Amino acid sequence: MTIRRFPPALGGLGANYNEKLTWINHKELQQVNATWIRGFIDMHQIDTKHVTQDPNIQALFRAIDAGYKIVLSLKWNYSELSFPLIGAAAHTIELQRLNAVLQVLMDKVNILVIGNEPFIEVQKGHADQRLNVFYESLADAVISFRRGITDSSKPKLYMGAFNRLDLPVKRTQAIERMIRFIASRPELEGADLHPHMPTLQGHKSMLEYVLPRLRPDQRFLATEFSLVWQWKKHLADPVSNYFCDKYAFSKGVRVHQVISAAMQAPWSYEQWEDFLSHEPWYVLCSNFITDAMTLYRGTGRLEVATCGFCPMRLRKLPLPVDGNPWMLNGVFAPSTVRLREDGSRYENFPWAEEFRNAQNC
């Protein structure tokens, strides 16, 4: 069997919108020179009789018409469900749902990922061979469907995504089986990774685990990557005296408390940058996107990596001390910052400039 190879993406860097494809903002993308967009659709939320009427799908089509290249992940949420047996009615329904989506999207996107975060979106205790059998059946169905496309619009196929494989405890038999499955299928281009790590060394460790287990001709995606667990370690830290003095916060106020205050009553952009730029744990990592892309591209096997463009945009709840500070990762400022007079968002410090610089680093 001859598998068509697309021209290489050469380690592209794009924008990740997760399930919020309706938030795709072409002006923001142009502002930071982005050409790739990534998102996912929840397969259990799709109306199979009206796929093209789904607001996220319509937003995706608008982006395609505008010339953006698309990485689309298909999510199956089994966090409260048991995986259906192959051949059972519930499994047949899943395949019918998949077929309806592929009929609409298969020839539209550049890269299709089978799965979103399968080892997180699973009922407790079910991340075993039951998960493997289910996802292998979906992959085989996607491969079969793609085989029936005869023109040049076939997307590349990836599978994943994998999380925290820097940790030996996460390297389970089910993880090993899925990676072996990916390597065994010539139609699959490689694995999707979500390297959210506390250190850049963790990103390197994950790559050193996954890449040798793939075929030498296979690549990887990093459709979500960040230092969010590094930021989380500092939520209980006291905020800088400089910031407290300038903005009348009590000495000893904690990072999570200040972020919560900004979400409740958004600040000017100047105040937000003042806060971030005087936190040494944040500034120390201000070259993270460049460093991560240099690491990924240095393997010679990166297809595309995408950064968060929509984290916590509308969140108004307090950020607890044990919360996940996704708002610190966004390329554009989150809901901690007031919008401009024209309704547009400010760039986030320092990630928008990092994103632009890393496009061709």
Is the pLDDT confidence value at 5 over 60? no
Q: What is the pLDDT of residue 313?
A: 64
The mean pLDDT of 93-104, rounded to a whole number, is: 97
- Cα–Cα distances in angstroms (integers) from residue 211 to residues 123, 182, 206, 207, in the given order: 28, 11, 9, 6
DSSP per residue, 126-165: -TTHHHHHHHHHHHHHHHHHHHT--STTPPEEEEEEEE-T
In sequence order, what are the residues at sequence separation of 6 or more whose Cβ sits closer than 8 angstroms to the Cβ of residue 265?
none
Tell me which architecture the domain covering 12-230+285-313+348-358 has in CATH.
Answer: Alpha-Beta Barrel (3.20)
Tell me the one-letter amino acid at 203.
Answer: H
Is the pLDDT confidence value at 7 over 60? no
Is the pLDDT confidence value at 8 over 80? no
Q: What is the pLDDT of residue 1?
A: 39
Q: What is the pLDDT of residue 292?
A: 97
Q: What is the pLDDT of residue 150?
A: 75
Q: What is the pLDDT of residues 30-64, one digit of tens each?
A: 999 999 999 999 999 999 999 999 999 999 999 99
Q: What is the pLDDT of residues 233-254, one digit of tens each?
A: 999 999 999 999 999 999 999 9
d(CA 130, CA 110): 29
Please state whether beta strands 188-194 and 156-163 pair in parallel, antiparallel, or not at all (unpaired).
parallel
Mean pLDDT of the chain: 94
d(CA 190, CA 157): 8
In sequence order, what are the residues at sequence separation of 6 or more whose Cβ sits closer than 8 angstroms to the Cβ of residue 178?
118, 132, 135, 159, 160, 162
Q: What is the pLDDT of residue 316?
A: 76
Q: Are 292 and 305 in contact (CB under 8 A)?
A: yes
DSSP per residue, 256-311: HHHHHHHHHS-B-HHHHHHHHHT-HHHHTTTTHHHHHHHHHHHTT-EEEEEEES-T
Provide the β-strand partners of residue 158.
113, 190
The mean pLDDT of 327-337, rounded to a whole number, is: 93
Helix (H, G, I), strand (E, B) or coil at 232: helix
Helix (H, G, I), strand (E, B) or coil at 73: strand
Question: Which residue has better confidence, 192 or 150?
Answer: 192
Q: What is the pLDDT of residue 4?
A: 38
- Cα–Cα distances in angstroms (integers) from residue 126 to residues 45, 165, 180, 204, 347, in the given order: 22, 18, 19, 28, 41
- Cα–Cα distances in angstroms (integers) from residue 95 to residues 91, 92, 139, 142, in the given order: 6, 5, 10, 9
Q: What is the pLDDT of residue 257?
A: 98
Q: What is the pLDDT of residue 14?
A: 97
Q: What is the pLDDT of residues 110-159, one digit of tens each?
A: 999 999 999 999 999 999 999 999 999 999 999 999 998 877 778 999 99
Burial 315-346 (b: 16+ CB within 10 A, else e): eeeebeeeebbbbbbbbbbbbbbbeeeeeebb
Q: What is the pLDDT of residues 271-323, one digit of tens each?
A: 999 999 999 999 999 999 999 999 999 999 999 999 999 766 677 789 999 99
The mean pLDDT of 204-223, rounded to a whole number, is: 98
Q: What is the pLDDT of residue 148?
A: 86
d(CA 311, CA 101): 26
Is the pLDDT confidence value at 6 over 60? no
Phi-psi map region of 322: left, alpha, beta (phi>0 left; psi -120 to 50 alpha)? alpha
Length of the chain (residues)? 361
pLDDT band at 96 (very low <50, low <70, confident <90, very high): very high
Q: What is the pLDDT of residue 359?
A: 87
Output the CA torsion 54→59→64→69 (10° steps).
Answer: -110
